[in-house]
Amino acid sequence: MQFALVFNSVLSAKYRSSRSVRAMVCAVFCAMSAIEAANAGPSLNLEQLIGIGLNENAYILASRDQVAAAKGDATIARAYPNPDVGGQLGRSKERNTLTPLSGQVYNITMAQPIEIPMVRSARIDAADEIVKATDANRQSFEDDSVARIKLAYYELLRRDAEALATTEDLTLTQQIRDRVALRHKVGESPKFDLIRADTEMLNARKNMDAAKLRVEQAKANLRLAVGHPLPEGWVVQGSLPKSVKLPPKETLKAELLSRNPTLMKTEAEQRAAEHRLSMEKSLRLPKIALIAEREVDPTQQYSRGGLVMTIPLWDLRSGQISKAKAELSSTKHQLNAQRLSFSESLDATYQLYQIASNQVRVLETELLSQAAAAQRIAESAYRYGERGILEWLDAQRTYRAARNELIAARFDLATVSVEIDRLRSISHQAANPAGASTAQGSSQLPDF
């Protein structure tokens, strides 16, 4: 972009009158462009950015570790209780005998708790459901991360398109200013036209500088969304989608209710709460432990066996059961609220998708082409003296507004498709929006 401005400023200084100067500047411009392309960093497409984010983002790796921790808890839930082993060692001596016997005595005791089968199965089932809930939470976090990467990627494409458009506007405005200056020099145009052209050129330069800053800000947002350092001098590859095809709304709603990870997490938590309630009720049953004991003294030895039973006489676990019931009721209400919320969100997002698709179609097929034609007509009329500079500048501003609206409409279409993919949990399946008919390396805007 900077080389193009230098190129245009040199041509404007010479009024494009010398072929040798123009050929020399073109050669310099091509050489500098080749050097810039050689020094540019790698081009990253959306699939590569998502791959870096999913494999290198520390938060995503931490969420996967949480799933491993939940699986460890499930392994703990399957463990059997360890036996308790104890022993004593001492000496004994008979009393009230003429020849007392003395020697060592010892005893060994072992107790093995016996789990209640209903308690064990409920505990294992609850732990397995917690694993499913944790994995669904990981999936939800990854979907959100992929959606953030996509939004930041499309935001950068939008800012690149706007920066390219402002550069083209500045080039055209400089050409207009040079023509007006030449006509003013020969006395065919008043001073007012030259002042107006200078003002337009300054405004175009201001817009270009602001667009460049927005590009750098969008790059920073994309690096933050990826969550890992990117190569030096990297650039993005791709273009904003021109169209997005989605299934009918009812199909989308069915996919949302069956695949959304947030709903799957809440459903797993509800099943886990049911198993915990069953476990708390089963814990009211008496607990049993088998006991085996052996005792040896200088004259006798004993072997005993028995059991110990814990009778729930005072503590009937009423508080634990009430808590489990409240947690189960809470998860049920939360699940119903989430289903309603996601359904309403899908309805609103689908309406935004229809609005954005219609805007892109109208702008591409009607408004932008008409604005471009009006600009060409105004330019020809000014060139032949039939219209003033104001009509030409107004037509140019109209074309700019239509072009910027098309860029914004395509960005809105991309963001809506990303949100729908996030709700359906298909962000990992396709980097481009579902059904988007885009071509890599294609121009951001149609040619007119």
**pLDDT, tens digit, 9 for 90 and up, residues 83-96:** 999 999 988 877 76
Provide the whole-model pTM: 0.78
CATH 1.20.1090.10 applies to domain 40-424: no
Distances (CA, A) of 293 to 82, 90, 301: 17, 16, 11
Q: Is the pLDDT of residue 448 over 70?
A: no
Average pLDDT, the chain: 83
pLDDT at 22: 39
Q: Is the pLDDT of residue 434 over 70?
A: no
Pairing of the two strands 301-310 and 287-296? antiparallel
pLDDT at 431: 47
Q: How many angstroms separate the most distant Cα atoms in the chain?
A: 149
- The better pLDDT of the pair 122, 23 is held by 122
Distance CA 242, CA 154 (A): 12
- The better pLDDT of the pair 235, 98 is held by 235
Distance CA 93, CA 102 (A): 4
pLDDT digits (tens, 9 = 90+) for 323-364: 999 999 999 999 999 999 999 999 999 999 999 999 999 988
pLDDT at 396: 80
Range from 94-98, 231-235, 302-306 carrying the lowest mean pLDDT: 94-98
Q: What percent of the chain has pLDDT over 70?
A: 84
Domain boundaries, the chain: 1-39, 40-424
pLDDT digits (tens, 9 = 90+) for 171-203: 888 888 888 888 778 877 778 878 888 888 898
Distance CA 244, CA 417 (A): 7
pLDDT at 427: 66
Check residue 363 and report its DSSP letter: I
pLDDT at 397: 82
End-to-end Cα separation, the chain, in angstroms: 21
pLDDT at 125: 96
Q: What percent of the chain has pLDDT over 90?
A: 53
Distance CA 419, CA 427 (A): 9
Distance CA 129, CA 273 (A): 9
pLDDT at 447: 38
pLDDT at 12: 40
| Phi, psi angle pair for 299, to nearest 5° | -115, -25
pLDDT at 172: 84
- Nearest alpha-carbon partner for 334 in 419, 269, 274, 255: 269
Distance CA 220, CA 211 (A): 14
pLDDT digits (tens, 9 = 90+) for 3-53: 444 434 433 443 333 344 334 434 434 444 444 444 557 889 999 999 999
- What is the crossing angle of helices 117-185 and 46-56, to 10°? 140
